[in-house]
């Protein structure tokens, strides 16, 4: 991570990148805008795709870090390609560790077949320790008892387990291949309860259909990237203890 | 007469473009048509045991403005947006663009029939179920 503004320490860090239903990307991007967070760092490496994004005429790296008070947010505007997941995950955890983050929250979705029949998506959680699991009660987060995790969040969690860093993965029930702002709103509400985030999701829900329309291309690109990963395994029960 | 040893030509290697450019071209695949102001919706086709299911994400669309047509093995979806969507500096063309509708044609994996076909539209997602056309008919022996 290349820092443009030096940050010594943050209490909590959020991580979102385009994956299932774009849940993490939509949620973290909405939080960054709602809290008017400032960009402080970006990810740079030769293995990343040769891409820059331009916002208001300013060229920026697609993977950036934002900070406001004791909260940091890491967001990728493009899907993290499977071959770059491991080094990206290590860079993320290195940065989180260097800022003495108390808890890293990874935001994502878990695909459910009957999403159209669900009014308010449930949020499941996976935590690196018993203390993390205990905190789920505050945010109406249901512990994910059995299942698979794949992709960036899985590798980040593996790295956090190795280094003894607190990591919680929040997974909202979501569409697999359609952008799902409703699921993103559920994860934000959980964060509101878990860490007093104070972000109102009304605007996100009001603009839900417009967001779905505008994120079609990103969703399609993400789907292509996810098809190279065993993401569908998330709905299966692992072999052990069957 | 001794045979001249044959010289082995090195095998021609297929020229493959540098991978990052594949990624880039994928990134800019367009899902819009500026000529008729239409957008391509996200959608998928699933072949189930007795039906073919087509699901299409149609945000900002009302049920009455959706048209579904089947022609052979092509299912065509047309839908009007409930308001014109304007982008002031659209993508690489960097000009004002307006979009008024969704349009997409899906090629179906097998023959289907509209007899017994069902469709539902909920929360902006259209789900069309088309029964598979039976190719073989049992002949009853009298």
> Would you call A129 an interface residue with chain B, using a CB distance cutoff of 8 Å?
no
Is there a contact between B24 and A216 if contact means CB atoms under 8 Å apart? Answer: no
- The confidence score (pLDDT) of residue A226 equals 78
- The confidence score (pLDDT) of residue A51 equals 85
Hey, which bits of chain B come out as E strands? 32-33, 38-39, 43-47, 51-57, 61-71, 74-90, 95-107, 118-122, 125-131
Question: Considering CB atoms only, which of A116, A175, A221 is closest to B27?
Answer: A221
- The confidence score (pLDDT) of residue B27 equals 47
Residue B124: CB partners within 8 Å, gap ≥ 6? Answer: A209, A212, B57, B58, B59, B60, B61
Which burial class, exposed, middle or buried, applies to A44 when counting CB atoms under 10 A from its CB (0-12, 13-18, 19+)? exposed
Pairing of strands A53-55, A58-60: antiparallel
Chain B's closest residue to A81, CA to CA, is B23
Is there a contact between B39 and A216 if contact means CB atoms under 8 Å apart? Answer: yes
Pairing of strands B74-90, B95-107: antiparallel
Closest Cα in chain A, distance from residue B91 (Å): 10
B52-72: burial string, b at 16+ Cβ within 10 Å, e else:
bebbbbbbbbeeeebebebee
CA B131 – CA B129 distance, rounded (Å)? 7
pTM: 0.84
Is there a contact between A81 and B23 if contact means CB atoms under 8 Å apart? Answer: yes
Q: How confident is the model at residue B45 (pLDDT cuts 50, 70, 90)?
A: very high
Q: How confident is the model at residue B31 (pLDDT cuts 50, 70, 90)?
A: confident
Closest Cα in chain A, distance from residue B130 (Å): 19
Q: Which residue has the higher pLDDT, A237 or B133?
A: B133
Which burial class, exposed, middle or buried, applies to A16 when counting CB atoms under 10 A from its CB (0-12, 13-18, 19+)? buried
pLDDT in tens, A71-90: 999 999 999 988 899 999 99
Pairing of strands A71-76, B95-107: unpaired
Contact (CB, 8 A) for B124 and B57: yes
Is there a contact between B31 and A216 if contact means CB atoms under 8 Å apart? Answer: yes
Residues of B in contact with A210 (CB under 8 A): 59-60, 85
Which of A56, A116, A225 to mutate against chain B (most B CBs within 10 Å)?
A116
pLDDT in tens, B48-73: 999 999 999 999 999 999 999 999 89
Closest Cα in chain B, distance from residue A78 (Å): 9
Answer positive or negative: Cα dihedral of B30, B34, B35, B38: positive
> Would you call B58 an interface residue with chain A, using a CB distance cutoff of 8 Å?
no
> Would you call B48 an interface residue with chain A, using a CB distance cutoff of 8 Å?
no
- The confidence score (pLDDT) of residue A175 equals 92
- The confidence score (pLDDT) of residue A73 equals 97
Per-residue pLDDT of chain A in tens (242 residues, 90 and over written 9): 999 999 899 999 999 999 999 999 999 999 999 999 999 999 998 888 888 888 888 889 999 999 999 999 999 999 998 889 999 999 999 999 999 999 999 999 999 989 999 999 999 999 999 989 888 988 789 999 888 888 899 999 999 999 999 999 999 999 988 999 999 999 999 999 999 999 999 999 999 999 999 899 889 988 888 777 655 555 455 555 55
CA B76 – CA B54 distance, rounded (Å)? 11
Is there a contact between B29 and A208 if contact means CB atoms under 8 Å apart? Answer: no
Which of A54, A215, A217 to mutate against chain B (most B CBs within 10 Å)?
A217
Domains and CATH numbers, chain A: 8-226 (3.40.50.10900)
- The confidence score (pLDDT) of residue B10 equals 54
- Is residue B17's pLDDT more than 50? no
- Is residue B13's pLDDT more than 80? no
Question: Considering CB atoms only, which of A51, A78, A219 is closest to B42?
Answer: A219
- The confidence score (pLDDT) of residue B18 equals 46
CA B139 – CA B142 distance, rounded (Å)? 9
Which of B43, B56, B59, B93 to mutate against chain A (most A CBs within 10 Å)?
B59
CA A56 – CA A18 distance, rounded (Å)? 22
- The confidence score (pLDDT) of residue A9 equals 93
CA A25 – CA A22 distance, rounded (Å)? 5
Q: For residue B43, what are its two tokens?
A: 């959608």
Pairing of strands A2-3, A38-42: antiparallel
- The confidence score (pLDDT) of residue A137 equals 85
Fold of B42-131: Immunoglobulin-like (2.60.40)
- The confidence score (pLDDT) of residue B20 equals 47
């Amino acid at each position: 991570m290349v820092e443009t503004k030096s940050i010594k320490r943050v209490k909590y860090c959020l991580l979102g990148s385009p994956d299932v239903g774009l849940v993490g990307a939509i949620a973290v991007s909405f939080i960054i805008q709602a809290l008017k967070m400032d960009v402080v760092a970006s990810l740079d490496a030769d293995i990343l795709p040769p891409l820059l994004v331009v916002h208001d005429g300013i060229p920026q790296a697609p993977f950036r870090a934002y900070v406001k008070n004791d909260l940091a947010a890491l967001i990728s505007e493009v899907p993290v390609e499977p071959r770059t997941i491991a080094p990206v995950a290590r860079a993320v955890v290195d940065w989180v560790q260097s800022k003495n983050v108390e808890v890293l929250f990874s935001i994502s979705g878990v695909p459910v077949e009957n999403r159209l029949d669900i009014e308010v998506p449930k949020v499941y959680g996976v935590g690196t320790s018993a203390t993390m699991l205990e905190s789920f009660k505050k945010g109406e987060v249901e512990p994910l008892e059995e299942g698979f995790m794949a992709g960036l969040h899985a590798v980040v969690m593996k790295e956090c387990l190795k280094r003894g860093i607190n990591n919680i993965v929040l997974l909202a029930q979501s569409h697999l291949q359609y952008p799902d702002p409703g699921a993103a709103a559920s994860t934000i509400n959980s964060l509101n309860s878990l860490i007093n985030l104070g972000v109102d999701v009304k605007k996100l829900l009001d603009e839900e259909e417009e967001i779905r329309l505008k994120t079609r291309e990103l969703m399609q690109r993400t789907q292509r990237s996810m098809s190279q990963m065993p993401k569908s395994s998330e709905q299966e029960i692992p072999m052990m203890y069957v | 007469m001794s045979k001249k040893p044959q010289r082995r030509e090195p095998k021609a290697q297929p020229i493959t473009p540098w991978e990052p450019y594949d990624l880039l071209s994928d990134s800019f695949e367009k899902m819009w048509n500026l000529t008729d102001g239409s957008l391509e919706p996200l959608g998928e086709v699933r072949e189930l045991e007795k039906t073919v299911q087509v699901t299409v994400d149609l945000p900002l669309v009302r049920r009455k403005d959706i048209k579904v047509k089947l022609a052979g093995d092509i299912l065509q979806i047309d839908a009007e947006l409930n308001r014109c969507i304007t982008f002031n500096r659209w993508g690489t063309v960097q000009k004002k663009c307006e979009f008024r509708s969704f349009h997409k044609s899906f090629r179906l994996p097998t023959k289907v029939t509209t007899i017994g076909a069902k469709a539902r539209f909920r929360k902006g997602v259209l789900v069309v179920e088309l029964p598979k056309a039976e190719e073989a008919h049992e002949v009853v022996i009298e």
